Amino acid sequence: MSATWIVAAIVAGIWLLVALLQLGDVATVFLDSRTARDRDIPGRIARERLNDLFWIIPLVALVALAIGVGVDHAGRYFFDTNTPSIGSLFVLGLAVLVVGVLALALGAVAATDRVSYSALRREMREHEGTRITPLQLEQFHARLAEVDTRTRRRMRVTRLILKPSSIARSLSVVIGLLLVVVVWVAVASTPNDQSASLVVVSVLAPILSALFAALGIRFAVSSDTAWRRVYAKQRIDILKLLEDFDRSSRKRVAGLGDRVARALKILSEQPPQ
């Protein structure tokens, strides 16, 4: 096999991996658009969008690949080539341990989202019916401002463009076009009996990538619109709770004025010492 066909096979494999990520992105963002509803699960603070959790898979895969390459080079450096079995087992065990710990850590970070309207509302409802202090009220206002800032930042155009899903959607089309060019070069340099069919198949790559990208963008817009309505409802609930907390924190204690007046009267009636 010539070098051009080897390069074409590598590019095709990369495009296939990116296309699989696109399929997962389209499926999860479609589910997010259809399942956008107000959730309030006691004792759990987690991300509400499945698409955010999906993108931990390629992240863990990249981390595992980087660690595997690094540990492999380290094993070749520290261990003698005459004992490959011990070195291979040690490298394999260390790689599995490190990747497993990182996967658990990344999963916990990705699943947890304390800066959200639902998390803040759930925490505030735990204090519902009680008289909070002015300091607590100020902290709730600060938390709400933090969530508002983060929500506005997530809706910015630059933020949407730099999301992993948006990068994958654009990158897949570029890789598909690159695959067409590489296959054409390979066919021109070393043609074979399957050249015509390979060219036709390669042309389908950017078309499929563009189709998946269009579907992903379409479902992403629907998902953002649906979740924006959910966030608006959650924010209204938070504002109502803040209003109740504000009234309760400024409410006078029942009977406190009468007790103070009675104490002052008793002190005034006492004879001077």
Check whether 194 has a pLDDT greater than 80: no
Check whether 230 has a pLDDT greater than 80: yes
Check whether 256 has a pLDDT greater than 80: no
**Residue 60 tokens, joined:** 């863990």
Count CB atoms within 10 A of the CB of residue 11: 21
**pLDDT: which is higher, 48 or 14:** 14
> Cα separation of 188 and 6, whole Å?
14
pLDDT at 133: 84
**Residue 238 tokens, joined:** 């938070």
Check whether 251 has a pLDDT greater than 60: no
Look at residues 234, 52, 223, 225 and name the one whose alpha carbon lies nearest to residue 147.
234
Residues in CB range of 163: below 8 A, 6 or more apart:
none
Q: Are 15 and 205 in contact (CB under 8 A)?
A: yes
With bands split at pLDDT 50, 70 and 90, how would you rate the model's confidence at 87? low
Mean pLDDT of 191-217: 84
Residue with tokens 């296959």: 183
* pLDDT one-digit tens code per residue, 89-116: 666 666 666 666 666 666 666 666 677 8
User: What's the 3-state SS for the chain?
Assistant: CCHHHHHHHHHHHHHHHHHHHHHHHHHHHHHHHHCCCCCCCCCCCECCCHHHHHCHHHHHHHHHHHHHHHHHHHHHHHCCCCCHHHHHHHHHHHHHHHHHHHHHHHHHHHHECCCCHHHHHHHHHCCCCCCCCHHHHHHHHHHHHHHHHHHHHHCCHHHHHCCHHHHHHHHHHHHHHHHHHHHHHHHHHCCCCCHHHHHHHHHHHHHHHHHHHHHHHHHHHHHHHHHHHHHHHHHHHHHHHHHHHHHHHHCCCCCHHHHHHHHHHHHHHCCCC
With bands split at pLDDT 50, 70 and 90, how would you rate the model's confidence at 80? low
> Cα separation of 2 and 190, whole Å?
7
> Cα separation of 194 and 138, whole Å?
71
pLDDT at 89: 60
> Cα separation of 7 and 13, whole Å?
10
Check whether 17 has a pLDDT greater than 70: yes
Mean pLDDT of 238-253: 78
**Rounded mean pLDDT of the chain?**
77
- Of 83-92, 129-138, 241-250, where does mean pLDDT reach its minimum? 83-92
Terminal alpha carbon distance of the chain: 113
